[in-house]
C-alpha cells in the first residue's frame, strides 16, 4: 500500500512534483501517465526512497520510506534503465540480492529461469537492452516485493516477452496481493494492466480514477440530423470537445450514457453512435485541457 499526502519535490527553482496526493491500495496496479518532464520518474524515485520529498508525507505499508531499510526491503524499483553491476554475472547479482533482500526466494528464482532464456553465468553488462530488462524482472520478482515500482517497464521487450512479464506481474498481484505502480507512455499497456490511473502534468496530478469509471464517464458521439439544429443544442450536455464533419457532429461528452442518449434521441437523429473512449483518447483530451494540442483526436 502506497500513500502520498501533499508531496512536493523541488530541484533548485523547479517544483518537479507539486502537492501530489495519491493512494494505491494493496493488490492494485496503478498506472502513472503524463507528458514528458511531468515528474513521473521523480515521483517514483521519491516513493522508492531514493529521493527525499521537500514537503508532504510518503508512506509504504504505513511507514515512512526514506532511510527506512526495513521498508525498502519490501519495495523493488526497476528504473527506465535498469542498473547492472559491472562485471557481475546473473548468478552473482542474484547472490547480491539474496544478501540484500530478506524476502529473496531461491525457489522462485529457479522457477522463473524457465521463463527467461538467459545464461546465468554470463555478465549482465554484455546482454542486450531487452535481456538486461528481463534480468531486472527476474531478480525483482525473486525478492518477492510487497511493492513493485516500474518506470517504463516493458520498453525494449519483444511482444512475447512483454506478455510473459505481464503474466508474472499479474500472478504476483493475484496470489500475494503485490502492489504495483507503473509509469509508462504506452497507454494500451496501462489500459491492459492497470485498475487505476493517474495523470501527471507539470508536477501536478490532473486526474486520478479507476480505469473503468474513467472510461464509462466519457463518450465519443457521432450524430447527424435531417435538418441542422441551432448551434446551442449541445449546451445542456457536458461537451468536452466537438467538431463538425459535413453533416456529422463528432463530440466528446462527459456524463451518464443513458442521460446523454435520452437527450439526443429527443431530436430524432438519423445517425447516432455512442462509443467508449480509449485511454489514449482520454489522455490526449485531458492534456489538451491543460494546453497540450489535441486537434483531430476523433477518428
Ligand atoms: N536531479 C534533478 N535535478 C534537477 N532537475 C531534475 C532532476 N530530476 C528531474 N529533474 C527535472 O524535473 C522535471 C521532471 O522530471 P522527470 O524525470 O520526473 O519527468 P518524467 O515525467 O519522468 O519525464 P519523461 O516522461 O520525459 O521521462 C524535469 O523538468 C526534469 O528536468
Q: What is the pLDDT of residues 131-157, one digit of tens each?
A: 999 999 999 999 999 999 999 888 889
User: Which residue is closest in CA terms to ligand 1's atom 25?
Assistant: 36
CA distance linking residue 38 with residue 33, whole number of Å: 9
Question: 229: how many CB neighbours lie within 10 A of its CB?
Answer: 13
Cβ pair 198, 207 in contact under 8 A: yes
CA distance linking residue 82 with residue 103, whole number of Å: 20
- pLDDT class of 181 with cuts at 50, 70, 90: very high
pLDDT number for residue 192 = 86
Pocket of ligand 1 (CB under 6 A): 11, 14, 16, 34, 36-42
- Best mutation site among 10, 18, 36, 40 for ligand 1, i.e. most ligand atoms within 8 A of its Cβ? 40
The answer on pLDDT for 296 being more than 70 is no
CA distance linking residue 148 with residue 170, whole number of Å: 12
Q: Which of 183, 197, 129 is nearest to 152 (CA)?
A: 183
Residue-range domains of the chain with CATH: 2-202 (3.40.50.300), 217-289 (3.30.70)
The answer on pLDDT for 297 being more than 60 is no
The answer on pLDDT for 282 being more than 70 is yes
β-pairing, 196-201 vs 29-34, is parallel
Instruction: Tell me the CA–centroid distance for residue 32 and ligand 1, in Å.
Output: 14
Instruction: Tell me the CA–centroid distance for residue 16 and ligand 1, in Å.
Output: 7
Range scoring the smallest mean pLDDT among 90-94, 141-145, 177-181, 291-295: 291-295
The answer on pLDDT for 294 being more than 60 is no
- Best mutation site among 9, 33, 41 for ligand 1, i.e. most ligand atoms within 8 A of its Cβ? 41
- pLDDT class of 170 with cuts at 50, 70, 90: very high
Cell, residue 236? 445542456
Question: 299: how many CB neighbours lie within 10 A of its CB?
Answer: 7
Instruction: Tell me the CA–centroid distance for residue 58 and ligand 1, in Å.
Output: 19
The answer on pLDDT for 295 being more than 70 is no
Beta carbons within 8 Å of 146's beta carbon, 6+ residues apart? 60, 61, 74, 75, 178, 179
CA distance linking residue 208 with residue 197, whole number of Å: 6
Please give the average per-residue pLDDT across 41-66, as a whole number.
Answer: 95
Where do the H-state alpha helices sit in 143-206? 159-176, 187-193
The answer on pLDDT for 274 being more than 80 is yes
- pLDDT class of 229 with cuts at 50, 70, 90: confident
| pLDDT tens digits, one per residue of 54-101 | 999 999 999 999 989 999 999 999 998 888 888 899 999 999 999 999
Range scoring the smallest mean pLDDT among 23-37, 83-97, 228-242, 284-298: 284-298
Beta carbons within 8 Å of 4's beta carbon, 6+ residues apart? 20, 21, 22, 23, 43, 46, 47, 56, 57, 58, 59
DSSP letter for 278, please: P
Q: What is the pTM of this model?
A: 0.86
pLDDT number for residue 298 = 45
Question: Which atom of ligand 1 is closest in space to residue 45's alpha carbon?
Answer: 18
Amino acid at each position: 500500500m502506497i500513500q502520498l499526502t501533499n508531496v512536493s519535490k523541488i530541484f533548485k527553482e523547479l517544483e518537479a512534483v507539486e502537492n501530489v496526493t495519491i493512494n494505491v491500495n494493496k493488490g492494485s496496479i496503478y498506472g502513472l501517465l503524463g507528458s514528458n518532464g511531468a515528474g513521473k520518474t521523480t515521483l517514483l524515485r521519491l516513493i522508492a526512497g531514493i529521493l527525499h520529498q521537500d514537503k508532504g508525507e510518503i508512506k509504504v505499508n504505513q511507514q515512512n520510506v526514506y532511510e527506512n531499510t526495513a521498508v525498502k526491503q519490501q519495495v523493488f524499483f526497476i528504473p527506465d534503465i535498469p542498473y547492472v553491476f559491472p562485471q557481475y554475472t546473473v548468478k552473482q547479482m542474484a547472490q547480491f540480492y539474496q544478501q540484500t533482500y530478506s524476502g529473496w526466494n531461491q525457489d522462485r528464482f529457479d522457477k522463473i529461469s524457465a521463463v527467461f532464456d538467459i545464461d546465468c553465468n554470463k555478465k549482465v553488462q554484455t546482454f542486450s537492452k531487452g535481456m538486461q530488462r528481463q534480468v531486472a524482472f527476474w531478480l525483482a520478482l525473486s525478492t518477492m516485493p510487497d511493492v513493485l515500482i516500474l518506470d517504463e517497464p516493458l520498453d525494449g521487450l519483444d511482444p512475447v516477452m512483454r506478455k510473459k512479464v505481464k503474466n508474472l506481474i499479474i500472478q504476483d498481484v493475484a496470489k500475494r496481493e503485490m502492489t504495483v505502480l507503473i509509469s509508462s507512455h504506452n497507454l494500451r499497456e496501462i489500459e491492459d494492466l492497470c485498475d487505476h490511473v493517474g495523470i501527471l502534468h507539470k508536477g501536478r496530478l490532473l486526474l486520478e480514477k479507476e480505469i473503468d469509471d474513467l472510461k464509462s464517464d466519457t463518450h465519443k458521439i457521432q450524430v447527424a440530423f435531417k435538418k441542422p439544429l441551432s448551434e446551442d443544442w449541445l449546451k445542456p450536455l457536458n461537451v468536452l470537445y466537438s467538431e463538425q464533419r459535413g453533416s456529422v457532429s463528432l463530440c466528446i461528452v462527459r456524463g451518464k450514457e443513458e442521460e446523454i442518449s435520452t437527450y439526443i434521441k429527443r431530436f430524432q437523429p438519423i445517425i447516432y453512435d455512442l462509443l467508449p473512449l480509449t485511454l489514449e483518447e482520454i489522455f490526449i483530451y485531458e492534456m489538451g485541457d491543460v494546453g497540450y494540442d489535441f486537434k483531430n483526436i476523433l477518428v
